[in-house]
Amino acid sequence: MDHRRFIVLTGVFAAAVAIGGPAAASSAPATATSGSAAVSPSHRGGWDEQHYDYYLALGDSLAAGVQPDAQGRSLPTDQGYAMDLAAYLRRHNRHLDFVDLGCPGETTTTMLNGGCPFPHDYGNQVDAAASFLAAHPHARILVTIDIGANNVDGCATATGIDATCVGAGLRSAAADMPEILGKLKAAAGRHVRFAAMNYYDPFLAAWLAGPAGQAEATGSVQLSEQFNGLLEGAYRAFGVPVADVSGRFDTTLFTPLVQLTPTVQVPLNVARICQWTWMCAPAPQGPNIHANKAGYEEIADTFEAIVGRR
């Protein structure tokens, strides 16, 4: 995901803004503290003792751990899911090298052709990753991927979802994903393992704006399911397991209602977004589409649950 996306949240927004900051996990009610549609963090104990030499993180701003600073600028941090996953992997191999090529603002097209707005010393992310893999043919490498959100992020606005924009984003992702995965797989040695992720839906926060926002939030989930389905199909075609981040965030669950504040109830999926992203945070840090520290930890847990599978 690339940049701050603002939705005009009125009415109950002022009562909910305190929920979205870094302390959200501790301030949320007991009914909204753990994902119900993904593997529990307790699965960590079932990991195989796989020792990787390298962990290569690929993708967009989520791979780079982007969060808003105190002035509201979206900047890479050391609290992203890739950093959390690298820390976990180092419990098995303290000598593991972590390489993060994630580029804030990356789309599937810029990943292939270059042009990501964040400064990197590579021409494009796919070729840089393929070169790294080719240079380490015998190494044990974990590669994680998150890409595609920026193809459609701009399609959700305060006035609704732009169907033409969505169609263009879907077409570009459908065309680009096989080429991205084909190049990476071709460069990978026999000890390389891949894992990818689908996406949560930050635009569920529009629910707080009243009836019009609730219609927008419902429509955004339909978009999210469609786009995640496209991504998952591409990953499956190349034998890449997918961490169900959408499920972890209970994206499709408009029931049950949970307490967002002492006086406000919202659907579970809306509570997750307020709890684990900056979308419900007060200005200048919010609304911001990126995960907060707690949200990145949830994404890392979701990856951990699939990386250990054989």
Query: What are the domain boundaries of the chain?
Result: 39-249+292-307
Q: Which two tokens stand for residue 126?
A: 């796919």
Q: Residue 149's closest CA among 253, 38, 83, 59?
A: 59
**Distance from C-alpha of 260 to C-alpha of 236, rounded to nearest angstrom:** 36
Per-residue HEC secondary structure of 45-101 comes to HHCCCCCCCEEEEEECCCCCCCEECCCCCEECCCCCHHHHHHHHHCCCCCCCEEEEC
Specify the pLDDT at position 15: 34
DSSP 238: T
List CB contacts of 15: < 8 A, sequence separation 6 or more: 261, 263, 264
**Distance from C-alpha of 209 to C-alpha of 5, rounded to nearest angstrom:** 15
Q: What is the pTM of this model?
A: 0.84
**Distance from C-alpha of 163 to C-alpha of 184, rounded to nearest angstrom:** 31
Q: Which fold has domain 39-249+292-307?
A: Rossmann fold (3.40.50)
Q: How many other CB atoms are there within 10 angstroms of residue 191's CB atom?
A: 14
DSSP 282: P
Transcribe 124-155 into DSSP letters.
-HHHHHHHHHHH-TTS-EEEEEE--HHHHGGG
Specify the pLDDT at position 35: 41
Report the DSSP pairing between strands 192-197 and 242-243: parallel
User: What stretches of 158-272 adopt beta strand conformation (E)?
Assistant: 160-161, 192-197, 242-243, 257-261, 264-267
Per-residue pLDDT of the chain in tens (310 residues, 90 and over written 9): 433 333 334 333 333 333 333 333 333 333 344 443 333 333 333 334 468 999 999 999 999 999 999 999 999 999 999 999 999 999 989 999 999 999 999 999 999 999 987 878 899 999 999 999 999 999 999 999 999 999 988 776 666 678 888 889 999 999 999 999 999 999 999 999 999 999 999 999 999 999 999 999 998 999 899 999 999 999 999 999 999 999 999 999 999 999 999 999 999 999 999 999 999 999 999 999 999 999 999 999 999 999 865 4
Give how far the C-alpha of residue 13 lies from the chain's centroid of Cα atoms, to the nearest Å. 24
- Which residues lie across from 75 on neighbouring strands? 67
Q: Which two tokens stand for residue 98?
A: 């972590």
Specify the pLDDT at position 118: 81
Contact 267, 251 (CB under 8 A): no
**Distance from C-alpha of 190 to C-alpha of 305, rounded to nearest angstrom:** 22
DSSP 9: -
